[in-house]
């Protein structure tokens, strides 16, 4: 059986799936990344995932696609990764040398949102933006049906400046969308208010979640009209809407897909507000015909996007 592998190389785990030519997931393997044990261990963990998927000897592997955090260039070299010890590392050369099949690599969020586009309802859309709102904020740009990465690092929508002298961001800049609309940004705001003694059901939920607040807990708090939860979500809506208006003025896309953990938990509640705020900033008439969708692949977006990426790569040859 002809098959492809899609890999999602994350900071804590590596998820792999074997896909048949119709895009059905045939088998899955998950391993810890063990990023703290160094590069060689990470490579060995990646190999274990691939080997695990290839146990059935009747598989004819056509290619491997993957997503990794960080700045990826030339579809195979990780220039820098925030939480995996890749530094100007040619993962493509290594995998192709070992497995003798074509390999393509992209930034994890680019690849995941590419997967969401391939699974979207509006498949005929050719110019598409994916806005990912999870622990961080990122995205993907699809131009004329192809993932656009520029010199490798495109679609860092979390680092659009939305407030000129605004909050400091983990990237070193100031006023980034991510500082307000990501789960990390939202969490910082919540922790700050709770430390001040503000009452919120979130304090209760965090007893089970730990200091990292789950998106599902945020959703529960939002649904019971917790004022703190409402306040931080309203602020995220405001800044996401403002950024979405800017994105529409820049790209005039056919479709915007909203994904990531925050969107998958709270997207139904947030989308109308985001669109209304975007309308306020979009050029007259420009939003007509621009469609919005919420993502739905959840944790499978990365592996599915990686599969689509290698499949498309081979078909375009």
List contacts with its own copies (CB under 8 A): 71, 79-80, 127, 141, 143-144, 148-157, 159-164, 171-176, 238-239, 242-243, 245-246, 249-254, 280-286, 289-290
Largest Cα–Cα separation, the chain: 62
Residue 195 CB-density burial (10 A; 0-12 exposed, 13-18 middle, 19+ buried): exposed
Work out how close the CB of 168 gets to its own copies at its nearest, in angstroms, rounded to a whole number: 11
- Which residue, 6 or 260, has its beta carbon nearer to its own copies? 260
Q: Given the complex with its own copies, which of 124 and 211 has the nearer CB atom?
A: 124
CB of 116 to its own copies, least distance (A): 18
CB of 7 to its own copies, least distance (A): 23
Q: Which is nearer to its own copies, 95 or 186 (CB)?
A: 186
CB distance 153 to 70 below 8 Å = no
173 or 298, CB closer to its own copies?
Answer: 173
First to last CA, the chain: 21
Closer residue to its own copies, CB minimum distance, 99 or 238: 238
Nearer to its own copies, 198 or 252 (CB): 252
- Shortest reach from residue 286's CB to its own copies, in Å: 5
State in angstroms the smallest separation of the CB of 272 from its own copies. Answer: 19
Least distance to its own copies, CB of residue 309, Å: 17
């Amino acid at each position: 059986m002809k098959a492809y592998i899609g890999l999602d190389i994350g900071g804590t785990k590596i998820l792999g799936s074997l896909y048949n030519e119709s895009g059905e997931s045939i088998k899955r393997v998950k391993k810890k990344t063990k990023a703290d044990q160094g590069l060689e261990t990470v490579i060995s963990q990646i190999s274990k995932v691939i080997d695990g998927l290839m146990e059935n000897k009747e598989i004819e592997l056509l290619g491997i696609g993957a997503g990794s955090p960080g700045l990826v260039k030339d579809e195979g070299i990780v220039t820098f990764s925030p939480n995996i010890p890749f530094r100007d590392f040619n993962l493509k050369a290594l995998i192709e040398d070992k497995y003798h099949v074509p390999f393509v690599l992209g930034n994890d969020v680019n690849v995941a949102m590419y997967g969401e586009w391939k699974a979207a309802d509006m498949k005929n859309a050719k110019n598409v933006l994916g806005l990912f709102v999870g622990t961080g904020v990122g995205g993907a740009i699809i131009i004329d049906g192809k993932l656009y990465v520029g010199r490798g690092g495109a679609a860092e929508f979390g680092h659009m400046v939305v407030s000129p002298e605004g909050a400091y961001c983990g990237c070193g800049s100031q006023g980034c969308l991510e500082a307000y609309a990501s789960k990390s940004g939202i969490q910082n705001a919540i922790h700050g208010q709770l430390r001040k003694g503000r009452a919120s059901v979130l304090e209760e939920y965090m007893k089970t979640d730990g200091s990292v607040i789950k998106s599902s807990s945020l959703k529960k708090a939002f649904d019971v009209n917790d004022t703190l939860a409402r306040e931080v979500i309203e602020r995220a809506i405001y800044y996401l809407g403002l950024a979405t208006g800017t994105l529409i003025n820049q790209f005039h896309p056919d479709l915007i897909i909203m994904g990531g953990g925050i969107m998958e938990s709270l997207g139904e509640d947030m989308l109308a507000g985001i669109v209304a705020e975007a309308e306020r900033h979009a050029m007259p008439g420009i939003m007509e015909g621009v469609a919005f969708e919420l993502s739905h692949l959840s944790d499978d977006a990365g592996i599915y996007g990686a599969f689509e990426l290698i499949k498309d790569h081979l078909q375009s040859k």
